[in-house]
Structures are given as structure tokens and as C-alpha cells.
Amino acid sequence: MATALTWDGTDAQGQPLRWDQPGLTWNGTLPQPNTKRMPQLRVLLGFSNAPDHSLEELATNVIAKLYGNAAYPNPPVTLVALTGARDAFSAAIAAAAQGGPAQTADKNNKREALVSLLRQLAGYVQENHDNDLARLLSSGFEAASTNRASSPLEAPDITDIINGGTGQLILRIPAIPNAKCYEVRMALIPPGGAPGPYQSAGLFTNSRAIIINGLMSGGNYQFQVRAVGGSTNYSDWSNPVIHMSL
């Protein structure tokens, strides 16, 4: 039942004027309620498909920020359990790098165990962040983007290249908002010559550690990166950067 409205006035009998009073003509319109809803923040669950070291980094971030956080007093996974799963996964990554199929299978099992715990915690954070971005991020998890408008992505910038193991280089770039992943291409530069033809080095989701393996020891390589996504599907390529593989 609609609630009758009154004006700041009275009729001849001293009664409040009402919108449905007989003989009174209402020439205005009632304001419509604001039905626009704020976007519902959601925890980013893409870690399930993230590279191993990105998953390891997320677990470390959650361990540091979620436990002891007053906004999340009762996590469904204990600190001991999550730390143990993270440490077991880290050890399995190292073993798989030097081992064979059995070590890789063990690493994958440890990964699934860690992902399972993180999913439980992500669900708990989703139920308790009160649609507050700062509160969500304070858990150590990331927020899924609420921006559905698609626009061209800016070109990445290779800020650093460092040597990893033999024949391995690690590229670092600042993350590009709304990028799905990053494509890398490289060209070998022969002594005294121009860069050879570019070849694809793959797609990567972790902008902070793009690991390129199988490089020639002592070879100079030129790299470029572009972001994948946005309204044009790809950004422009970054400026080329050259580095020697050890």
C-alpha cells in the first residue's frame, strides 16, 4: 500500500494537505527511486590458472595480510595449513625444475592442494568484504575488474631484464590495466649484425616475471612485449630492449 504524502500546509479545517485529498489537483510527479546499484565487487579467481610463481606469490600475500586482519576474524583455513601448502608447493617447483615427470606430477598435485585452500579463503573474503575495495584488497587477494567498457590497451614498457639460469632471461613490465595477458617476441642479434626475424616467445600472465627459457648462451636478444585484450585485441608493441643471455 502506497504511503500518503503531505505538504507543509493545512486545509481550511487545519488538517494536513494530502496528495489524495478530494478536490485537490496534483500537477507534479513523484520522484522515482534511485534503482541504480553499485557494482558488486568480486574476488579475482584467476589465480587458478596463473603461472606457478604467480600462485606462489599470491599465497604469500594472503598469508601476510589475511591472518590477524580484523576484517576477517575467522578464516576457514588455518595459517599453519596455508603456509604448509605454500611451502610444499615452493619445494615442488624447485624439484620439478631439476627432475622429471614424477617431480612434475608431484608439483601439480601440490599446486591443486594450494589452489583448493585459496579458493576456500577467496569465498570467505567474498562474503565478508562488504563491497569495500580497500577491505577486499587488505585480504591479500585481488579484485576482479568491474569496468566492462572495452578500450584500447596502452603499450607495455620493458623496465628490466635480468639473467636467470643458463639460457634464461626474466623480463619485467608494469601491469597494464584490463590486459588478459602479455605476448613476447624476440630476435637473435648476430655479432656485428642487425636483429634477425622476430619469433614468438609465448603468452604470459605474470608481468612481474616473464621467464624466457632455451636461449643461446652468450647470445644477444632483442625483445618486445604487447598487451592482449581491450577493444583492439592487442596493444602496440613496446620499444625494443636488448639483453645478453648467459
| Cell numbers at 8, concatenated | 507543509
d(CA 174, CA 159): 8
d(CA 236, CA 239): 9
CA distances from 128 to 197, 224, 225, 226 (A): 52, 41, 38, 36
Tens-digit pLDDT profile for residues 90-100:
999 999 888 88
| Cell numbers at 163, concatenated | 639473467
**Quick one: pLDDT at residue 81?**
97
Residue 183 has pLDDT above 50, yes or no: yes
Q: Would you list the domain boundaries of the chain?
A: 46-137, 160-244
Tens-digit pLDDT profile for residues 73-92:
999 999 999 999 999 999 99
CA distances from 31 to 6, 45, 211 (A): 14, 40, 58
Place of cell 510527479: 29
d(CA 178, CA 231): 11
CATH number of 160-244, picked from 3.30.420.240, 3.40.50.300, 3.40.718.10, 2.60.40.10: 2.60.40.10
Tens-digit pLDDT profile for residues 107-156:
999 999 999 999 999 999 999 999 999 999 999 998 887 655 568 889 99
Task: Give the contacts of 6 (CB within 8 A, at least 6 positions apart).
Answer: 16, 17, 18, 19
pTM of this prediction? Answer: 0.51
d(CA 171, CA 167): 13
| Cell numbers at 221, concatenated | 636478444
- Does residue 207 contact residue 170 with C-beta atoms inside 8 Å? no
